[in-house]
């Protein structure tokens, strides 16, 4: 095998995929990511990461789309009004503001009136709908297309659920959490398979806690969840319990795929999990 054809795989976790997807307009950031990826010729991610990506990246904009189309007729200003009342969601408001600015309204003058239910409201709503719908579909396809392999030792059923277009034009990106109890995945077996590694990780995390005094909330959750699952792995057939180990699952998918280089921007958790599982953390 020549040096050129030798496979150099990198495992990409959710944070890195989100960074790749959203930093297209941030040249410094996208250059840094491209530089890291340039050292490898085979990119791998996992279905469970795609589920996280759906939850973090797609659900947010799918909700904005729903706000627009649920009015009859669809209303952009109605959605803007609704989002502005939700003070804790500045990102949703900024997405709508960006669309309005991009279309060209409210750019040249300081004040314009937009009446809910007016013709201009409907036209802007139709345009915004299309941009958002296309973006959701594109990002879902993008996840799979920008990597060479999507591994799934967990056989995660929720991660396989693709966004579904509704008759009203909205896109359903919900995660059917209650279906996890149907035991359609391989989570308990995967946990058993990786038991020795998980026990080592548990010991390393506890040691780090003693040394450092405090761990992140995610790692604290992981300690409790591993301890409980060692006694009964079938308890993991529950969406929220499975979620407590989300960082651990993604690192284990990399281990199970035999890929030692783990690409992430999630340094707090990976700083401890990677060395414990024999992975090398790679950051852009």
Partner 1 sequence: MLADEPTTANAQTLEMFNAGWDRIGVQKKVKESASQDLRSDFFNLSRRARDGFEVACAAKDEDQAETSYEAMVTTLSELWEYAAYRDRPFRDLLGLIEATLRYRSTKEFIPEQRKVILDAFSDLSRWHLDQSRVDEHLEQFMVHNLDIESPLRAPKGKKVRISIEIIEDDTKE
Q: Tell me which residues touch partner 1 (CB under 8 A).
A: 24-25, 61, 80-81, 84, 93-103, 106, 113, 122-123, 126-135, 137-138, 141-142, 145, 165, 169
Shortest distance, position 77 Cβ to partner 1, whole Å: 8
Shortest distance, position 102 Cβ to partner 1, whole Å: 4
Shortest distance, position 145 Cβ to partner 1, whole Å: 7
Shortest distance, position 111 Cβ to partner 1, whole Å: 9
Shortest distance, position 79 Cβ to partner 1, whole Å: 11
Question: Residue 252 burial (CB < 10 Å; 0-12/13-18/19+)?
Answer: buried
Which of 8, 24 has the CB closer to partner 1? Answer: 24
Q: E strands of 3-66, at which residues?
A: 9-12, 42-46
Distance separating alpha carbons of residues 80 and 245, to the nearest angstrom: 36
Start-to-end C-alpha separation, the chain: 29
Shortest distance, position 224 Cβ to partner 1, whole Å: 38
Which of 84, 155 has the CB closer to partner 1? Answer: 84
Between the CA of residue 212 and those of 207, 216, 276, what are the distances in Å? 8, 11, 16
Which helix or strand (DSSP H or E) is residue 261 part of? strand 261-263
Which of 7, 166 has the CB closer to partner 1? Answer: 166
CB atoms within 10 A of CB 265: 17
Shortest distance, position 194 Cβ to partner 1, whole Å: 35
Q: What angle do CA 249, 254, 259 make, to 5 degrees?
A: 170
Distance separating alpha carbons of residues 214 and 192, to the nearest angstrom: 28
Strands 171-172 and 261-263: unpaired
Which of 92, 282 has the CB closer to partner 1? Answer: 92
Which of 145, 231 has the CB closer to partner 1? Answer: 145
Which of 119, 196 has the CB closer to partner 1? Answer: 119
Which of 102, 267 has the CB closer to partner 1? Answer: 102
CB atoms within 10 A of CB 170: 23
Is the omega angle on the peptide bond into residue 53 within 30 degrees of 0, that is, cis? no
């Amino acid at each position: 095998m020549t040096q050129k054809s030798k496979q150099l795989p990198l495992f990409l976790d959710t944070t890195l995929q989100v960074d790749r997807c959203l930093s297209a307009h941030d040249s410094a950031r996208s250059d840094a990511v491209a530089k890291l990826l340039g050292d490898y010729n085979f990119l791998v991610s996992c279905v469970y990461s795609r589920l996280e990506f759906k939850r973090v990246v797609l659900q947010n904009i799918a909700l904005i789309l729903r706000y627009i189309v649920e009015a009859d007729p669809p209303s952009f200003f109605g959605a803007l009004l609704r989002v502005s009342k939700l003070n804790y969601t500045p990102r949703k408001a900024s997405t709508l503001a960006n669309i309005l600015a991009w279309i060209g309204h409210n750019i040249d003058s300081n004040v314009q009136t937009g009446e809910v239910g007016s013709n201009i409201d409907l036209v802007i709503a139709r345009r915004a709908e299309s941009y958002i719908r296309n973006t959701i579909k594109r990002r879902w396809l993008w996840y799979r297309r920008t990597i060479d392999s999507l591994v799934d030792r967990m056989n995660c059923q929720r991660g396989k659920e693709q966004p579904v277009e509704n008759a009203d034009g909205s896109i359903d990106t919900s995660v059917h959490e209650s279906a996890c109890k149907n035991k359609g995945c391989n989570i308990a077996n995967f946990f058993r398979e990786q038991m020795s590694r998980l026990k080592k990780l548990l010991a390393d995390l506890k040691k780090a806690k003693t040394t450092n005094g405090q761990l992140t909330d995610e790692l604290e959750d992981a300690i409790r969840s591993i301890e409980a699952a060692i006694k009964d792995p079938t308890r993991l057939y529950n969406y929220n319990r499975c979620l407590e180990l989300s960082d651990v699952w993604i690192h284990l998918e990399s281990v199970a795929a035999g890929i030692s280089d783990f690409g992430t921007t999630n340094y707090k958790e990976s700083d401890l999990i990677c060395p414990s599982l024999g992975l090398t953390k790679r950051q852009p």
